């Protein structure tokens, strides 16, 4: 793993700095619960749909200002709010974006990569979640959900590409502290936004 002057690798720092928030979100969502019912799944998907909608709006504004950087990280391939909407419809629910979380603006590419770390990292746990949901009687044999594992067999490749772009950015003078700060802010906002759909203890 390459190291850069000035401290630990930015990806290692991102993981360490957000480990508590990850755990919190994982527990709150309770998606690996064997008794996960349709209504709770819909509530969680609705929450994630609204979160992704708000998080992507900030990234879209950044991409409009920094199209070359957005292209480098293949931003247009990484949008996922529409997949949460499709999953909700597949479960017979209507997506609703009248209430959205308030997220900090994405001021630059460092902050964009920090936010993307949270959104893209979720595809890793997402492969386990997808596999688990497919075993639930909740869904029945005909419902296939797509938002948790949007890249399928390309999950590893998409994650590696994200990591490479982020390391390159820091190696070229990007501010690792701003990347990590944006990731923490995104994760904290996600944990707070998901608290109301917390799994029963
Ligand atoms: C929307 C909610 C979630 C977000 C935003 C999220 C975010 C992340 C991030 C950023 C990483 C990358 C960690 C790193 O290597 O730096 C990650 C990895 C992982 N997450 Fe999550 N996660 C979410 C939900 C879950 C849930 C519910 C589970 C429970 C199964 C889970 C399990 C995992 C696992 C097992 C990994 C490591 C996968 C690997 O290293 O191959 N995540 N997640």
CATH of residue 175's domain is 1.20.910.10
DSSP 197: G
Six token digits for residue 65: 């200002």
- In-domain check, residue 154: yes
Residue 159 CA, ligand 1 centroid: distance in Å: 12
Report the pocket of ligand 1 as residue ranges, CB < 6 Å.
14-15, 22, 25-26, 29, 31-32, 48, 117-118, 121-122, 124-125, 128-129, 190
Please give the pLDDT value at position 142: 79
What mean pLDDT value characterizes the chain?
A: 94
Q: State the distance from the centre of ligand 1 to the C-alpha of 86, rounded, in angstroms.
A: 22
In a domain, 187, yes or no: yes
* Tally of structural domains, the chain: 1
* Residue 69 belongs to some domain of the structure: yes
Give the domain range for residue 81: 28-196
- 54: in domain: yes
Q: Are 186 and 15 in contact (CB under 8 A)?
A: no
With respect to residue 22, please indicate whether it lies within any of the assigned structural domains. Answer: no
Residues in the chain: 201
CA of 119 to the centre of ligand 1 (A): 9
CA 150, CA 83: separation in Å to the nearest integer? 8
Q: What is the pLDDT of residue 2?
A: 47
Q: Which residue has the tokens 């879209």?
A: 60
Q: Which atom of ligand 1 is nearest to the CA of 11?
A: 16
Residues 2, 9 contacting (CB under 8 angstroms):
yes
pLDDT at 137: 84
Residue 2 lies in a domain: no
**Does the pTM exceed 0.75?**
yes
Whether 23 maps to a domain, the answer reads no
What is each CA distance from 130 to 87, 116, 123, 127, 175, in whole angstroms? Answer: 12, 20, 10, 5, 34
User: Predicted confidence band at 125 (pLDDT cuts at 50, 70, 90)?
Assistant: very high
Asked if residue 179 lies in contact with residue 121, where contact means CB atoms within 8 angstroms, the answer is: no
Per-residue pLDDT band at 200 (split at 50, 70, 90): confident
CB-CB contact of 78 with 121 (8 Å): no
The Cα–Cα gap between 48 and 29 comes to: 10
Q: For residue range 174-187, what is the model confidence (pLDDT) as tens digits? A: 999 999 999 999 99
Q: What pLDDT sits at residue 138?
A: 76
Q: Kindly state the percentage of the chain with pLDDT values over 90.
A: 87
122 within some domain: yes
Supply 23's token pair. Answer: 């755990």
Distance (Å) from CA 122 to ligand 1 centroid: 5
**For residue 57, pLDDT beyond 90:** yes
Q: How many CB atoms lie within 10 A of CB 2?
A: 10
**Reduced to 3 states, what is the DSSP secondary structure of residue 141?**
coil
- Report whether pLDDT(201) > 80: no
Residues 92-114 pLDDT 10s = 999 999 999 999 999 999 999 99
Name the one residue in this structure whose structure tokens are 């797509």: 146
Q: What is the pLDDT of residues 67-79, one digit of tens each?
A: 999 999 999 999 9
pLDDT at residue 199 in the model = 74
Mean pLDDT to the nearest integer, 179-196: 96
What number does the ligand 1 atom closest to the CA of 25 have? Answer: 2
CB 130 within 8 A of CB 148: yes
């Amino acid at each position: 793993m390459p190291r850069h002057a000035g401290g630990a690798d930015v990806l290692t720092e991102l993981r360490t700095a957000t480990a508590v928030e990850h755990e919190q979100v994982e527990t709150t969502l309770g998606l690996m619960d064997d008794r996960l019912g349709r209504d709770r799944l819909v509530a969680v998907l609705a929450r994630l749909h609204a979160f992704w909608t708000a998080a992507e709006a900030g990234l879209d504004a950044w991409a409009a200002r920094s199209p070359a950087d957005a292209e480098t990280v293949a931003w247009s391939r990484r949008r996922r709010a529409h997949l949460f909407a499709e999953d909700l419809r597949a479960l017979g629910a209507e997506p609703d974006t009248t209430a959205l979380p308030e997220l900090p603006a994405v001021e630059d590419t460092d902050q964009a990569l920090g936010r993307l770390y949270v959104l893209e990292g979720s595809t890793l746990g997402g492969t386990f979640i997808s596999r688990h949901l497919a075993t639930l009687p909740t869904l029945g044999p005909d419902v296939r959900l797509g938002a948790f594992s949007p890249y399928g067999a390309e999950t590893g490749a998409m994650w590696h590409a994200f990591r490479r772009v982020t390391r390159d950015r820091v190696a070229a003078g990007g501010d690792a502290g701003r990347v990590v700060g944006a990731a923490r802010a995104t994760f904290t906002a996600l944990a707070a936004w998901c608290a109301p759909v917390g799994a029963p203890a």
